[in-house]
Amino acid sequence: EEKQHEPNSLSVLSEKRKALFEPLDPVGNTNGKRPSAESLLPPPDFESASYPKGWLIGKKRKLVNVDVVESMRRIAVQEMNRKDREIDGLNEQLEEDARCLEHLQLQLLDERSKRADIERQNAMLQNQIAMLMDVLQANEAVEEGTEGN
């Protein structure tokens, strides 16, 4: 009788194995989108009451150890905190760079206004030189005219 029971349990198990490869829903969803891979996964082929204490069903319906999950969660939290600190440091550096850039832009603006003032003064002096040269040439022409008389 036990031998008869054994093939029967094997056929139940093979039915479960066959179910692993059959999609649960039609491939096309009602709105035409393809269903997620998660929804196509078959149910776990173990009973929830039969797995040992300290184990639970994970995301992909696999049996996972609670301690391992907690350890991985702790590591992930530490990594996220490290990344947060790194981001905070980069943000501080960015703020410092922004302050420095603002200071340099103000200096550049100041230098440009100084240059514009100097160029204006230079143009004014050039005009004065041209006027003086014209006056000097006019005086020389007048002197030559008076000497010629």
Q: Residue 134 corresponds to which tokens in the numbers above?
A: 């014209």
Query: pLDDT digit string (tens) for 79-112?
Result: 999 999 999 999 999 999 999 999 999 999 999 9
Predicted local distance difference test score (pLDDT) of residue 95? 97
Per-residue pLDDT, averaged over 31-39, amounts to: 62
Angle at 95 between CA 92 and CA 98, to 5 degrees: 150
DSSP label at 58?
-
Predicted local distance difference test score (pLDDT) of residue 1? 43
- Alpha-carbon gap, residue 134 to 29, rounded angstroms: 94
Predicted local distance difference test score (pLDDT) of residue 20? 66
Confidence of residue 39 (pLDDT cuts 50, 70, 90): low
- Alpha-carbon gap, residue 102 to 18, rounded angstroms: 68
Phi, psi of 60 (to 5 degrees): -95, 30
Predicted local distance difference test score (pLDDT) of residue 130? 97
Per-residue pLDDT, averaged over 1-13, amounts to: 54
Predicted local distance difference test score (pLDDT) of residue 119? 98
